[in-house]
A and B are shown apart, each in its own frame.
Chain A
Amino acid sequence: MPSKPPIISLKSVHKYFGTYHALRNINLDVEEGQKIVVCGPSGSGKSTMIRCVNGLEQHDEGDITVNGHMMTTDEKTGNLIRQEVGMVFQSFNLFPHMKVIENLMMAQRMVRKKTKAEARDTGMKLLERVGISAQADKFPGQLSGGQQQRVAIARALCMNPKVMLFDEPTSALDPEMISEVLEVMTELAREGMTMICVTHEMGFARSVADRIVFMDEGEIVEAGEPETFFANPEHNRTRKFLDQIISH
């Protein structure tokens, strides 16, 4: 079987904020269909890493390739990559001045040049998929956090992305709403979506991840399949971190 190149590939990536070395020699390959969970203490560079994947942050050294395109500082290339990469944020970031369905239609219309009817159709289908088609004509502010995050996932899926990035999608949610979002993500994973999820939901990581990546101080300390990662972490730092989040 001819092996396809990884859909996401980070090679010796470094990133600085001023003099602060936020990413140190990051190497990560993600094959199509793989689910990667990224965890690590606050400030370890998890957000920075996935934000470099779609060019929300620009890396300073190394190569990032997404879906065959090499990320450059050029706006056009970044844009091309972002059109194929969905992203879900901790703080939902729904457009407050648009109804839910309009949130889903905007980029389809502007970027994919779809007609209003097509965009609405796709939008409604995805709202159904995440279980909130009844809220289509409400404004985001009228929805609960869990519902808002599901809308945000649907909005990203409307673009038919090849890859989905999640940056702590459940961290801002009340505990009782976490599971409804994780269910949607689990379903998406089962359907074969390529995903990188920054999350500390270890139950989700255990059941969904092909690989878990542990970051600390801007480095990938270790990466492994869930079983070995949880049972036999190689590094002390990983063990400490796992003890901490599991005792919580």
Chain B
Amino acid sequence: MTFDGSLIIDSLPRLMDGLWITLRLYVLALTCGTTLAIALVLMRISSKKYLSWPVMGYIYFFRGTPILVQLFIIYYGLPQLEFIRTGPLWTFFREPFFCAWFALTLNVAAYTAEIFRGGILGVNSGLVEASKALGMTYTQTFRKVTAPIAFKLSLPAYSNEMISVLKATALASTVTIFDVTGVARKIVAETFAPYEIFLSAAIIYLVLAWVIQNGVRHLERRISRYAN
């Protein structure tokens, strides 16, 4: 087997187009999913069962099934529903990019909500009591004490989730999206050079993961200037 370096150079511009799609999908899914996770975790820790139980079910479903299956349900399954195909939602659900974003977002939300919940449970209850003893309300205490500390405690697990989601974006290629993996598959189909092309794709993901990991590490260092 020979290694054709020029093939990599030639396919770089197209892979960069794919990178742009990957990044868009990634950032959109991560930000929307994390925002949704905040809402979900607030419901999840609520003492009101009609708030916490649906979220428990939601999290159970999304953590217990493969993202690929979820994506297929959304992309192939939903259009079979009459009201989706004929209703206003069709503008969205007929778009593969929307479906991939939707599936990833719901996933990020489920995992991140659990991560944040772990962080909240990890907050020393003495601190919550101290805040309460100062006359702060539950909501004020949550905002000023529980949430920031929980966020810090959640960061290591959350950074893992960030990397997982990055890799999960590759599943979008299964629903006709030309992200890095999608583009790579297409080039391979044209050139029959899977080794060079998929290796290039892998290196692109590695670089992205490296950037994410270092970004989080930097953030972690900044917010843990203090001991405890």
Q: Which residues of A contact B (CB under 8 A)?
A: 54, 56, 75, 79, 82-87, 89, 91, 93-97, 106-107, 110-111, 139-142, 152, 155-156, 159
Give how many B residues have a beta carbon under 8 Å from the other chain's beta carbons. Answer: 24
A89 lies within 8 A of B135 (CB): no
In the assembled complex, B225 has its CB within 8 A of some CB on chain A? yes
Bound form: Cα–Cα A110–B149 in Å: 18
What is the CB-to-nearest-CB distance from B160 to chain A, in angstroms, rounded to a whole number? 22
Chain B residues lying within 8 Å of A155, measured Cβ to Cβ, are 134
Whether the Cβ atoms of B134 and A79 lie closer than 8 Å is no
- 8 tightest Cβ-Cβ pairs between the two chains A and B: A141-B227, A139-B226, A83-B135, A93-B130, A96-B228, A107-B134, A87-B133, A93-B126
A38 CA / B227 CA spacing, docked (Å): 33
A95:B145 contact, CB within 8 angstroms: yes
Q: Which of B130, B132, B137, B149 contacts A97 (CB 8 A)?
A: B149
B136 contacts chain A at the CB level, 8 A cutoff? yes
Residue pairs across A and B with Cβ atoms less than 8 A apart, 6 shown, are: A79-B135, A82-B133, A82-B134, A106-B136, A111-B136, A111-B140
How many angstroms from the CA of A211 to the CA of B134 in the assembled complex?
A: 26
Check: B223 CB closer than 8 A to any chain A CB. yes
- CB pair A140 B132 closer than 8 Å: no
Among A86, A89, A110, find the residue whose CB has the most chain B CB atoms closer than 10 A: A110
**Chain B positions within 8 Å of A86 at CB level:** 133-134
Query: Given contacts A95-B145, A97-B149, A97-B152, are A110 and B226 in contact (CB under 8 A)?
Result: no
Give every chain B residue within 8 A of A83 (Cβ-Cβ): 135
Question: A96, A106, A110, A111: which contacts B227 (Cβ < 8 A)?
Answer: A96
Told that A56-B132, A89-B126 touch, could you supply 15 new A-B pairs with CB distance under 8 A?
A56-B133, A84-B135, A89-B130, A95-B130, A95-B131, A95-B149, A96-B226, A96-B227, A96-B228, A97-B149, A97-B226, A106-B131, A111-B134, A139-B227, A141-B228
Q: Number of residue pairs across A and B with beta carbons under 8 Å?
A: 76
Across the interface, which residues of B come within 8 angstroms of A75, CB to CB? Answer: 137-138
State the majority secondary structure of interface residues on B: helix
The smallest beta-carbon distance between A219 and chain B, in angstroms, is: 25
A54 to B129 CA separation, bound complex (whole angstroms): 11
Against A, the Cβ 8 Å flags (1 = close, 0 = not) of B134-177 are: 11111010001100110010000000000000000000000000
Q: How far is the CB of A104 from chain B (nearest CB, A)?
A: 10
- In the assembly, what is the distance between CA of A141 and CA of B228, in Å? 6
Is B126 in contact with A159, judged by CB distance below 8 angstroms? no
The verdict on B73 contacting chain A, using a C-beta distance below 8 Å, is no
Task: Determine if B219 is an interface residue (Cβ-Cβ < 8 Å).
Answer: no
> Is the pair B135, A107 in contact by a Cβ cutoff of 8 Å?
yes
A79 and B137 contact, CB distance less than 8 A: yes
CB-CB under 8 A for A95 and B134, given A139-B225, A141-B226: no
Tell me whether A96 and B135 are in contact (CB under 8 A): no
Please determine whether B130 and A82 come into contact, CB atoms closer than 8 angstroms: no
- Tell me if A159 and B149 are in contact (CB < 8 A): no
Distance between B222 CB and nearest chain A CB, rounded to angstroms: 12
Question: Could you say which residues of chain B place their CB within 8 Å of the CB of A110?
Answer: 136, 140, 144
* Chain A residue, CB-CB nearest to B133: A87
Let me know if B199 is at the binding interface, CB within 8 A. Answer: no
B226 & A140 in contact (Cβ 8 Å cutoff): yes
Given contacts A96-B149, A139-B226, A140-B226, contact A82 B131 (CB under 8 A): no
Does B39 reach chain A (CB closer than 8 Å)?
no
Within 8 Å of chain A (Cβ to Cβ): is B127? Answer: yes
Q: Are B144 and A56 in contact (CB under 8 A)?
A: no
Residue of A nearest to B144 (CB): A106
